[in-house]
Amino acid sequence: MATRAKVLVAFASKHGSTRGIAHAVGGALHSCGCEVRVLPAGLVRSVLEYDAVLVGSAIYHDQWLWDARRLLRRMRGELSDRPIWLFSSGPIGGTPEGDALVATGCGGGTAVPSTLLSPLRGVPVLGHATFAGRVDARASGMLERDVPRGDWRDFRQVGSWGHLVGDEIAAVTTTRSGTGIRHA
């Protein structure tokens, strides 16, 4: 009997939108046969027990949230020898420019945010996706006051990317160990 790949989905979320995306990705990975744990990035103390890691964050002003950036820096050594994928959430619609960005700038295969290149030095990232975000009525920060409210997340897109990554995890971990998972 093959052992299921253990996968961590770590996330940083300010108002819960990215948490919802992380859980949807985790659900897709689970349906691909992975054993999945979804955790806030600030609670992750080690990634050694996982065969693959996904890290996601909301983006504000072209920056990932502190907890996710800190996780990448703290775990750089542990992340360097296991498959890792990243996802960002944040583009919103509600304006012609925003609607165009949501329509064309979201999905798998997007560039890793340049602000992550330093924390990721030496970590072989296998892919990055960008997903649209959500702004609800509770968002009341100074820079959020004039932002359109709404939910632009596309959970079919999120699930499709999660299934694609799940298939890649199966291929990568089988190749690395010959038995279906990588043994530490």
Tell me the C-alpha distance between 177 and 180, whole Å.
Answer: 6
Q: What is the pLDDT of residue 181?
A: 43
Beta bridge partners of 84: 53, 125
Which tens digits make up the pLDDT trace of 140-153?
Answer: 665 566 677 889 99
* 174: pLDDT strictly greater than 80: no
Q: How far is CA 113 from the centre of its chain?
A: 12
Rg (the chain; Cα; Å): 16
Whether the full predicted model's pTM is greater than 0.85, yes or no, is: yes
Per-residue pLDDT, 71: 97
Does domain 6-177 match CATH 2.60.40.10? Answer: no
Please give the angle made by the CA atoms of 104, 106 and 108, to the nearest 5 degrees.
120
Instruction: Quick: pLDDT tens for 7-66.
Output: 999 999 998 999 999 999 999 999 999 999 999 999 999 999 999 999 999 998 889 999
**Average pLDDT score over residue span 110-138:** 90
Percent of the chain with pLDDT over 70: 88
DSSP the chain: -PPPPEEEEEEE-SSSHHHHHHHHHHHHHHHTT-EEEEEEGGG----TT-SEEEEEEEEETTEE-HHHHHHHHHTHHHHTTS-EEEEEE----SSHHHHHHHHHS-EETPPPPGGGTTTTTT--EEEEEEE--EE-TT--STTTTTSPPEE---HHHHHHHHHHHHHHHHHHHHHHHSSSS---
What is the percent of the chain with per-residue pLDDT over 90, rounded to a whole number? Answer: 71
pLDDT score recorded for residue 30: 97
Taking the C-alpha atoms of residue 157 and residue 180, their distance in angstroms, rounded to an integer, is 27
Residue 183 has pLDDT above 50, yes or no: no
Confidence check: pLDDT of 116 > 90: yes
